[in-house]
């Protein structure tokens, strides 16, 4: 536990869908964590202590981090599949999901990484198996590079790392970073229903939008409608998109590819063959940057493989966990 902070908890066209399709019977608990200048919503599978006192402690902690425009609900399909091995929690990053904007109004990748680090330090959950998608993958990379003591393994699903030649289908998302574009888009699409917006997002993010069940679609549309009513919705989108684009331009030790090279944790990379936001061609460069990494490519998946193919992603994560356990057993001096 950090000596400076202790959490105050209480139960209670975007690049990533605002909510996941969910799984039948996969109930969840949601709580808020209050830190100075920062309030985070944390989601976890219900019954995480069902195995008796200390059951969660018998499993290794994991933290799931969503992408731009997404929320902790993006992990509702994957978390239950790993619940027997991982004591998983998913964050709503500041300004997303049910987390309010940060007190300092900073949406940079550095600030998102600091939010994750502050939560882990305050909760005393590290080292964790850190799993991130899209912008959340960028954030997770920075956390792993800056605080290797907090990350046991790293799983990145379509991480938003710099591309010299981005796909044309990703350009409209990047345009959200231009001042005024998000406000203009909001005005031009003010007559769009939440259902129409959700279909547009799913078409962009899924390799096959038909994989979304009617129940899952209704959940995503209802969450979209709720968030459109938030007074800060478009501002958060614009400033977060701009921060991500700015992160792509950084040089020196802050360059994201340099950060990737500094990661010490065993890493799993997951890419989709039908990803319209992060090109599959980036998989080879990422595999070279993250030392000793594993690579899973899913030819039919889009940008959110953990939502489209949760079983395949869960198997790959299990293999990573098994390999990491083998390495620890072979090297008893490793902490």
Tokens (6 digits) for 308: 């489209």
DSSP strands (E only) in 56-140: 60-65, 86-92, 128-133
- Asked if residue 334 is part of any domain, the answer here is no
CB 13 within 8 A of CB 205: no
- Asked if residue 160 is part of any domain, the answer here is yes
50-59, 175-184, 224-233: segment of lowest average pLDDT: 175-184
Is the pLDDT at 46 greater than 70, yes or no?
yes
Query: Which is more confidently placed, 252 or 81?
Result: 81
Is the pLDDT at 176 greater than 70, yes or no?
no
Residue span of the structural domain in which 99 resides: 8-329
310-325 per-residue burial string, b: 16 or more CB within 10 A, e: under 16: bebbbebbeebbeebe
Q: What is the pLDDT of residues 200-227, one digit of tens each?
A: 889 889 999 998 889 889 988 999 899 8
Q: What angle do CA 103, 108, 109 make, to 5 degrees?
A: 120
User: If pLDDT is split at 50, 70 and 90, which confidence band does 185 have?
Assistant: low
23-27, 101-105, 134-138: segment of lowest average pLDDT: 23-27
Is the pLDDT at 287 greater than 50, yes or no?
yes
Burial of 3 (0-12, 13-18, 19+ CB in 10 A): exposed
What is the average per-residue pLDDT within 57-78? 92
User: If pLDDT is split at 50, 70 and 90, which confidence band does 165 have?
Assistant: low
Give 225-282 as a DSSP string.
HHHHTSTTHHHHHHHHHHHHHHHHT--GGGSHHHHHHH--S-EEEEEETT-SSS-TTH
- Asked if residue 2 is part of any domain, the answer here is no
Smallest Cα–Cα separation from 300: which of 312, 282, 284?
A: 312
- Asked if residue 70 is part of any domain, the answer here is yes
Instruction: Please give the tally of structural domains in the chain.
Output: 1
- Asked if residue 335 is part of any domain, the answer here is no
Name, of 213-217, 257-261, 295-299, the range with top average pLDDT. Answer: 295-299
Determine how many CB atoms are found less than 10 A away from the CB of residue 102: 20
Average pLDDT for the chain: 83
Chain-centre distance for alpha carbon 318? 18
- Asked if residue 3 is part of any domain, the answer here is no
Q: Where are the alpha helices (DSSP H) in 26-108?
A: 55-58
- Asked if residue 241 is part of any domain, the answer here is yes
11-20, 138-147, 280-289, 302-311: segment of lowest average pLDDT: 11-20
Tokens (6 digits) for 303: 């940008």
Query: Which is more confidently placed, 69 or 332?
Result: 69
Q: What is the pLDDT of residues 307-320, one digit of tens each?
A: 999 999 999 999 99
Cβ partners under 8 Å of residue 115, min gap 6: 38, 40, 91, 93, 94, 102
What is the average per-residue pLDDT within 100-115? 94
| Confidence at residue 26, expressed as pLDDT on a 0 to 100 scale | 58
What CATH number is associated with residue 311? 3.40.50.1820
């Amino acid at each position: 536990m950090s000596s400076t902070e202790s959490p105050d908890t209480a139960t209670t066209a975007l690049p990533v869908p605002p909510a996941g399709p969910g799984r039948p019977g996969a109930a969840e608990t949601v709580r808020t964590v209050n830190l100075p200048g920062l309030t985070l919503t944390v989601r976890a599978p219900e019954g995480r202590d069902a195995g008796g006192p200390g059951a969660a402690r018998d499993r290794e902690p994991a933290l799931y981090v969503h992408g731009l425009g997404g929320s902790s609900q993006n992990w509702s399909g994957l978390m239950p599949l790993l619940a027997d091995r991982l004591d998983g929690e998913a964050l709503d990053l500041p300004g997303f999901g049910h987390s309010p904007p940060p007190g300092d109004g900073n949406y940079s990748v550095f600030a998102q990484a600091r939010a994750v680090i502050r939560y882990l330090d305050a909760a005393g959950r590290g080292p964790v198996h850190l799993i991130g998608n899209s912008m959340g993958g960028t954030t997770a990379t920075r956390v792993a590079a800056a605080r290797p003591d907090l990350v046991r393994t790293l799983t990145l699903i379509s991480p938003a790392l710099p591309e010299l030649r981005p796909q044309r289908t990703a350009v409209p998302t990047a345009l959200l970073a231009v001042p005024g574009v998000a406000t203009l888009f909001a005005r031009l699409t003010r007559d769009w229903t939440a259902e129409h917006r959700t279909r547009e997002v799913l078409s962009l993010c899924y390799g096959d939008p038909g994989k979304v069940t009617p129940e899952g679609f209704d959940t995503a549309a209802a969450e979209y409608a709720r968030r459109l009513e938030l007074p800060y919705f478009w501002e958060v989108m614009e400033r977060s998109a701009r921060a991500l684009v700015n992160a792509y331009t950084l040089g020196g030790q802050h360059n994201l590819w340099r950060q990737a090279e500094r990661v010490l944790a065993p890493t799993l990379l997951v890419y989709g063959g039908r990803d319209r936001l992060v090109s599959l061609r980036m998989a080879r460069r990422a595999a070279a940057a993250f030392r000793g990494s594993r690579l899973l490519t899913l030819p039919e998946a889009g940008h959110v493989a953990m939502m489209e193919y949760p079983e395949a992603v869960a198997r790959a994560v299990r293999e990573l966990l098994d390999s990491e356990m083998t390495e620890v057993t072979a090297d008893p001096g490793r902490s």
